[in-house]
Structure 1
Amino acid sequence: MTRNHPTSLLLACAFAASACAHDEHASHPAPEVLGSVTFATTCAARVQPRFERALALLHSFAYDEARKGFGEVAAADPGCAIAHWGAAMSLYHPLWEAPPVADLATGLAELEQAHQSGTGSPRERAFIDAAMTYFKDYDRSPPAARAKAYEQAMGDVATRFPDDVEAQIFHALALLATAPPTDRTHANQKRAGDILEPLYRRHPQHPGLAHYLIHAYDSSDLAPRGLAAARAYAKIAPSAPHALHMPSHIFTRLGYWEDSVASNLAARKAAHAAGGVGEELHAMDYLTYAYLQLGRDADAKRVVDDLAVMRNLRAGDFKIGYAANVMQVRYAIERRQWANASTLQPLPDSQAHVAAIVYWARAVGAARSGHPKNADADIANIEASIARLDAEGNTYWAAQTRVLADSARGWQMFANGDTEPAILHLRAAADAEDAAEKLAVTPGPIVPAREQLGDMLLEAGRANDALGEFRSALTAAPGRRGALAGTARAKAAGK
């Protein structure tokens, strides 16, 4: 006999009835609100609300809580094979860095347990088999190849079950995960948007639909399409810190700095309360960026200073290491505090492509404060980072780090009076940077290379050329304070 219990619910105290039934005079916490999801399973009816709560958490990238929730479902109903699928998917972070080997091994074990249980509907087994394509052979196949295999497998599941909302959603997410950063036509993102948009109209309280639409449209070309989802997502799942932060991806693309501040203040508070260090730092980075664009330097400094009291940061974790390193870089470079930038240090254990950003800040700071020779060691460190990334096969970050190297060399040459070669280096950096999209974890480059090129041209006395570069930079990144100021200076100098 099958146990098929589809449910649609607002996940607010959905599984903790006893916790919500205290004495009427007691103090009650706010109810948990994560949005509304439906996923038909053959699991016991008593675990269905808990399964869908865990799924809602997964759709808002609350991975640790989602994994815990799926684990509780599996413990309560040992025959619930799809709960092991959920636990495995909580270890695959498709829009972030590839999982560590230990997590891949754990995810594979979860899926093998799902297979061994021999339970589940054909649809549930299709989800499990698709996930297996990512976790199997993790020690022999690179992450990108496995992500592509999973995307194709989920495409097959979506075709096989065309009326299944979750199949379509997970396929769209897989398309976003495999979108080539160098594809400026955004073909995968548009395909994902085409899948998600009609579903979102039918299921406006589904957290994954709003969330993934924001990711689909997180580019300068598509950002206006994502504004409605950005305005809605935090209201759909206010109990998820990531849902409070995600709207700022679109706000940042559009230069809506006050909206970004509000979004990230809420996200930071929620992440801190939940003990989510990576999510808190992610919000702090976006918050620092927005404050600097508004000229609220004192507010930005308070956020950066808060890093000093955050102990034992795992800088080797990309999400943590990136934010914790670049916040100090943003604060110095955006304010043109070149001497301060030249003294920055990467956090211990920072990944090569993260440490390279700090070396870049040091080199540019040295060059622009009149000490170009001091940039030599930091440029050499950037080159060493590139060599390491090349050896690891990390092509995206190797290319982005080459942009940093060209930029640093350009400013060093410019400080030495080699103006034309310097401009060529900055132009090469700008063209290379424009050829690839940023990744989801970053608000964008510290200072876009195109904006830096405008700065250099202006300092070289070529105001009209500088004006064109600043305008191009503002098209790609509207509302950036440095580019706006550069535009004003170029116009004044060109009169």
Structure 2
Amino acid sequence: MNIRSAEAAKKHPAGDKLSLHYLHAFDYLAYSYLQQAQDAKALEVVETIQGLDSPIQPHVASAYTLAAVPARYALERQQWSTAAELVPKTPSSYPWDNYPAMEAITHFANALGAARTGDKQGAEDALKRLGELKAQAEQNSAYWGKQVEIQRLSALAWHQFQQGDREQALQTMQSAADLEATTEKHPVTPGEIIPARELLADMLWEMEMYQQALDEYAIALIRSKNRFNSLYGAARSAEMAGDKDKAEQYYQMLVDVAGEGDADRLRLQQAKEFLAAK
């Protein structure tokens, strides 16, 4: 349906500009491909978005897609270095100054990627810019200002974690997840770039707090159903916590969603290997 939507939108431009509906469909399409581990198809969407040479209709949905699709592709696949190197305000011809919350998406990817790779200065630079964009965004929209703050807190938590302050990092990450829980999904997006609750569970996993991680992944899946990384995290956490039955349940759910995905998605390989060994 999203492919058909994009095709229809391309036939009906907004005057002399590519319709926002064309880009909007591609964000949903990229999200779907990534949850199904169809990374080659997701990459095609990224390359299509980055290769656009037509004027684009200025709109929050257009800006969101331009920033979100490359960020999703890197972050969903744990490509931290790639995320850290994404260039904000791409394409440069787009009126980004009108969409601070959308520009913030790339800086969030930069901050999280830099934090996860130990690039202290890169993380701090991106976090500073997120603070500035949060102040700009909330002037016109409390909702989008809050979304930028959730991203800033999430990236800050992982920066603190990487710098060795794990207790503070966990508190900051909990704050981000709690703040996100007070918000609703916006119609412009299929879901958060990376849900804060999932990032909290990831952090608990890294701290070997497997049961707590499992609990948080389960909560994340209520809000964001069938997310690949939350299903994998829940399965792996259950496995490490010694609950083989629950691990099998989540691994099976993952394979049901992404069983036809690309063979080189390591997490999908692990799920299939676990189920084959039962």
Residue aligning to 1:284: 26
Is contact 1:313-1:320 (8 Å) kept? no
Change (3 A) 1:425 1:311: same
1:309 aligns with 2:51: yes
1:472 aligns with 2:214: no
1:346 aligns with 2:84: no
Structure 2-normalised TM-score? 0.80
User: How far is the alpha carbon of 1:316 from its aligned partner?
Assistant: 4.9
- Write the distance in 2 (CA, Å) between the matches of 1:313 and 1:430: 37
Residue aligning to 1:380: 128
- Write the distance in 1 (CA, Å) between the matches of 2:34 and 2:129: 28
5+ unaligned residues in a row in structure 2: which ranges? 243-278
CA deviations on 1:367-408 (whole Å, 9 max, x unpaired) are 112223320110000000112123x24211111111011001
Residue aligning to 1:72: none
Is contact 2:101-2:137 (8 Å) kept? yes
Question: Secondary structure at 2:172's aligned position in 1?
Answer: helix
Is contact 1:286-1:443 (8 Å) kept? yes
Question: Secondary structure at 2:188's aligned position in 1?
Answer: coil
Counterpart amino acid of 2:101?
H
- Write the distance in 2 (CA, Å) between the matches of 1:375 and 1:457: 21
- Write the distance in 2 (CA, Å) between the matches of 1:413 and 1:467: 22
User: How far is the alpha carbon of 1:477 from its aligned partner?
Assistant: 1.1
Is contact 1:315-1:322 (8 Å) kept? no
- Write the distance in 1 (CA, Å) between the matches of 2:150 and 2:57: 22
Residue aligning to 1:117: none
CA deviations on 1:151-204 (whole Å, 9 max, x unpaired) are xxxxxxxxxxxxxxxxxxxxxxxxxxxxxxxxxxxxxxxxxxxxxxxxxxxxxx
Question: Secondary structure at 1:435's aligned position in 2?
Answer: coil
- Write the distance in 2 (CA, Å) between the matches of 1:321 and 1:438: 17
5+ unaligned residues in a row in structure 1: which ranges? 1-262
User: How far is the alpha carbon of 1:315 from its aligned partner?
Assistant: 7.7
Identity of aligned residues (%): 35
Among 144, 149, 154, the alignment partner of 1:402 is 149
- Write the distance in 1 (CA, Å) between the matches of 2:234 and 2:204: 12
Residue aligning to 1:122: none
Question: Secondary structure at 1:326's aligned position in 2?
Answer: helix
Counterpart amino acid of 1:433?
E
1:371 aligns with 2:113: no
- Write the distance in 1 (CA, Å) between the matches of 2:171 and 2:37: 31
CA deviations on 1:39-96 (whole Å, 9 max, x unpaired) are xxxxxxxxxxxxxxxxxxxxxxxxxxxxxxxxxxxxxxxxxxxxxxxxxxxxxxxxxx
- Write the distance in 2 (CA, Å) between the matches of 1:400 and 1:273: 33
Counterpart amino acid of 2:162?
A
Among 107, 110, 114, the alignment partner of 1:362 is 110
Change (3 A) 1:429 1:331: same
Residue aligning to 1:491: 238
Question: Secondary structure at 2:214's aligned position in 1?
Answer: helix
1:423 aligns with 2:170: yes
Among 331, 337, 359, the alignment partner of 2:79 is 337
Within-5 A mapping of 1:55-66: none
The structure having more radius of gyration, on CA atoms, is 1
Is contact 2:19-2:56 (8 Å) kept? no
CA deviations on 1:347-374 (whole Å, 9 max, x unpaired) are 2332110111110100100111222332
Residue aligning to 2:193: 446
Within-5 A mapping of 1:67-78: none
- Write the distance in 1 (CA, Å) between the matches of 2:214 and 2:50: 39
Is contact 1:368-1:415 (8 Å) kept? yes
Residue aligning to 1:458: 205
Is contact 2:87-2:106 (8 Å) kept? yes
User: How far is the alpha carbon of 1:273 from its aligned partner?
Assistant: 2.1
- Write the distance in 1 (CA, Å) between the matches of 2:28 and 2:76: 14
Question: Secondary structure at 1:444's aligned position in 2?
Answer: coil
Residue aligning to 1:293: 35
1:265 aligns with 2:3: yes
- Write the distance in 1 (CA, Å) between the matches of 2:49 and 2:3: 15
User: How far is the alpha carbon of 1:317 from its aligned partner?
Assistant: 2.5
User: How far is the alpha carbon of 1:314 from its aligned partner?
Assistant: 4.1
- Write the distance in 2 (CA, Å) between the matches of 1:352 and 1:321: 10
User: How far is the alpha carbon of 1:274 from its aligned partner?
Assistant: 2.0
Structure 1-normalised TM-score? 0.46
Q: Runs ≥4 in structure 1, deviation > 6 angstroms?
A: none
- Write the distance in 1 (CA, Å) between the matches of 2:147 and 2:102: 11
Counterpart amino acid of 1:446?
I
- Write the distance in 2 (CA, Å) between the matches of 1:451 and 1:278: 29
- Write the distance in 2 (CA, Å) between the matches of 1:493 and 1:370: 26
Question: Secondary structure at 1:443's aligned position in 2?
Answer: coil
Counterpart amino acid of 1:434?
A
- Write the distance in 2 (CA, Å) between the matches of 1:308 and 1:481: 25
- Write the distance in 2 (CA, Å) between the matches of 1:402 and 1:468: 24
Question: Secondary structure at 2:217's aligned position in 1?
Answer: helix
User: How far is the alpha carbon of 1:429 from its aligned partner?
Assistant: 0.6
Higher relative contact order (CA 8 A, sep 6+): 2
Change (3 A) 1:340 1:315: farther
